[in-house]
Amino acid sequence: MKCWICGKDASGVCKFCGRAICKEHAKEMPFILAVYDHDEDIPKAIAVSNGLWCGICKPQPSPIEMPEID
């Protein structure tokens, strides 16, 4: 795979949009792995603070509501 921006060999893939990205152009962005709210009132999210991000796409800072999949 080649970097979306410069066309060099990519070293990873953006966690948010799937674009391939090289080390030079990769950025980091908190990435929510899962959101759950078991018995408690406060929903909790499992997140990594340095998910690989291409810098091009615009990830939402928090999970967006998806009432259609309820």
**Residue ranges in contact with Zn ion by CB under 5 A:** 3, 5-6, 14, 16-17, 19, 22, 24-25, 54, 57
Rounded to a whole number of angstroms, the minimum distance from the CB of residue 57 to Zn ion is 3
**Distance, CA of 17 to CA of 24 (rounded, Å):** 18
Cα of first residue to Cα of last residue in the chain, in angstroms, is 36
Rounded to a whole number of angstroms, the minimum distance from the CB of residue 54 to Zn ion is 3
Q: At CA 47, angle to CA 46 and CA 53, rounded to 5? A: 150
- Comparing CB distances to Zn ion, the nearer of 14 and 37 is 14
- Comparing CB distances to Zn ion, the nearer of 61 and 67 is 61
